[in-house]
Amino acid sequence: MILQSVILIAGLLLLVKGADWLVDGASVLAKKHKVSDLAIGLTIVAFGTSAPELVVNSVASAQGYADIVFGNVIGSNNFNLFFILGVAGLITPLAVQSSSVWKEIPFSFIAAIILLLMVNNYFSNTAPSLSMIEGIVLLVCFAAFLYYVFTQLKSETTNQEIEQKVYSNLKIWTLILGGLAGLVLGGKLVVDNAVTIANSLGVSEKIIGLTIIAAGTSLPELATSVVASLKKNNDIAIGNIIGSNIFNIFLILGVSSIIRPLPFQITFNNDIYLLLGGTLFLFTAMFSGKRKSLDRWEAIILLLAYIGYTTYLVSMEL
């Protein structure tokens, strides 16, 4: 099992590095062809930070590991919201734009509500699941969110100059192809070895997905938000998390359920309720203490809630 653990960690590192290489190479290629920074941010960078979750879930869905699919997305969203925002908010209080308070945070809450309704089949008598048709609906919602982000950013002006790297064509394509290879290989290593470890320990695939895989695939978001927080770039620190949570539900679960319809364990409902509660807490935090800001004491509450939640999950398995 030690070997499987080492390979699992190696797979997670491959996922993170693969996403980094892909974003780096694709961004430089896009700039060479005069693609705007806005388009790069909405497509290449957005995809890159979601690539680990997308690859892991695509592999897990194709192999029929529905618990890993749901565990990874729901667990990643809770890790993002409670742990990453908690850490970033401890580093510095996070001021939030009005658009995030009134639009993006409610949008992420609505995404979780849509997921809850879909997987429990409240409007039909079939067993809890996420069907291919529902996956298409999620992708339509994702397209609507992208359109909103595009129009939002289009209406804003910025004087920020983004540093432009200069690479040779050989280096660009080496990064892109190497990044894609790292993502595919890393995703396969993570899923296969996570299942092996779960079976060896007698732990469910659900718990492995909600904890180890979820935290591992969220490493790009963790790094991005912590660095942004240290640089006092609050918009990136909090926008990265809210955007990622919306991407995970609409894009990644949408793609996963199109690959293969996914049976849903109703025990995951508790984890979705936690996500809904955390999102509501974040929204109300905008009106307590310093307005439109996540204060340090509120960040501590998020961190303590996540520690308690994870402890409870593990204790239920032992």
- Name the residue among 317, 49, 67 with its Cα closest to residue 201: 317
pLDDT for the residue numbered 101: 65
Q: In this predicted structure, what is the pLDDT of residue 163?
A: 52
CA–CA distance, 209 with 242 (Å, rounded to integer) = 20
Provide the pLDDT for residue 160: 45
Q: What is the pLDDT of residue 275?
A: 97
**Domain 2-317 class?**
mainly alpha
CA distance to 174, 235, 237, per residue, from 213 (Å): 27, 27, 22
Q: Write down the pTM of the prediction.
A: 0.83
pLDDT score for 228: 72
- Beta strand pairing status for 262-263 and 94-95? unpaired
Domain ranges within the chain, ordered by starting residue: 2-317
The pLDDT of residue 159 is 45
Residues of the chain with pLDDT under 70: 35-46, 97-101, 123, 152-165, 233-237, 289-290, 318
Residue 162 is predicted with a pLDDT of 46
Task: Tell me how far apart the alpha carbons of residues 295 and 75 are, in angstroms, rounded to a whole number.
Answer: 24
CA distance 65 to 231: 39
